[in-house]
């Protein structure tokens, strides 16, 4: 029997998409298959790993635990939406993406989209986390490669970069670390070579 389809309007990264999906279509699958936003990765598919995390009205949400039909009237932000528009075709890395690139916060990159979205929301709630708070911020996401140390560093660096962008303050340099440039521009990486699945993290890894 053919499954009935439901017309759904999804607002993703500021763009409206009209799609027809079965009632049981997961948001993660709709993003990847209907909208080709493959930066949202699917690992466990039952809410454990966090790889599929997107922002729903600014809050981190496991997109594998949400039906696409439930996302109507919500503002959804995927990892692709974290790249900042600067008038260029490719945009530039957002603060959390930039911090991951600077601090080597990823290896294989499979978990990275979920960390980037989770940390983006976490820094909205707590713009200046301590190291312990940074660890708490990422406690719900699993990474099999990094050992988390550089992800924690990335959270703290992203907090500095957000302050640079949003408040015009110079980032604080932690003892024993090289001094940080007070501008995103000096360390800005280009968002190039988006030719694979992980490229949509913005980091090209």
Question: Can you tell me which of 27, 64, 76, 99 binds ligand FES, judged by CB under 6 A?
Answer: 64
Cβ of residue 35: shortest distance to ligand FES, in angstroms?
A: 17
Question: Can you tell me which of 48, 72, 139, 172 binds ligand FES, judged by CB under 6 A?
Answer: 48
CB closer to ligand FES, 13 vs 198: 198
Which stretches within the chain are classed as H helix?
27-29, 95-103, 112-125, 131-137, 149-167, 184-187
Cβ of residue 40: shortest distance to ligand FES, in angstroms?
A: 9
> At what angle are helices 149-167 and 112-125 packed, to 10 degrees?
50
Per CB under 6 A, contacts with ligand FES among 4-23 are none
Q: Which residues of 69-87 are buried (b: 16+ CB within 10 A; e: fewer)?
A: bebeebebbbbbbbbbeee
Per CB under 6 A, contacts with ligand FES among 71-110 are 106-110
DSSP β-bridge partners for residue 16: 11
CB closer to ligand FES, 60 vs 81: 60
147 binds ligand FES (CB under 6 A): no
Residue in the block written with tokens 């990892």: 79
């Amino acid at each position: 029997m053919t499954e009935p389809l439901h017309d759904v309007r999804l607002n993703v990264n500021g763009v409206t998409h009209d799609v027809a999906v079965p009632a049981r279509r997961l948001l993660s699958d709709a993003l990847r298959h209907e909208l080709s936003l493959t930066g949202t990765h699917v690992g466990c598919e039952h809410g454990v790993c966090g790889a599929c995390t997107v922002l729903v009205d600014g809050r981190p949400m496991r997109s594998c635990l949400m039906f696409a039909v439930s996302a109507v009237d919500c503002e959804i932000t995927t990892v692709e939406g974290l790249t900042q528009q600067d008038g260029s075709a490719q945009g530039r890395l957002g603060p959390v993406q930039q911090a991951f690139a600077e601090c080597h916060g990823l290896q294989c990159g499979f978990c990275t989209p979920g960390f980037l979205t989770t940390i983006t929301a976490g820094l909205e709630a707590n713009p200046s986390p301590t190291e312990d708070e940074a660890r708490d911020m990422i406690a719900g996401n699993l990474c099999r490669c990094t050992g988390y140390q550089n992800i924690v560093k990335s959270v703290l660096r992203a907090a500095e970069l957000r302050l640079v962008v949003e408040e015009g303050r110079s980032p604080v340099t932690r003892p024993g670390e090289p001094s940080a440039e007070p501008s995103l521009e000096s360390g800005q990486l280009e968002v190039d070579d988006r030719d694979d699945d992980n490229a949509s993290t913005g980091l090209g890894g």
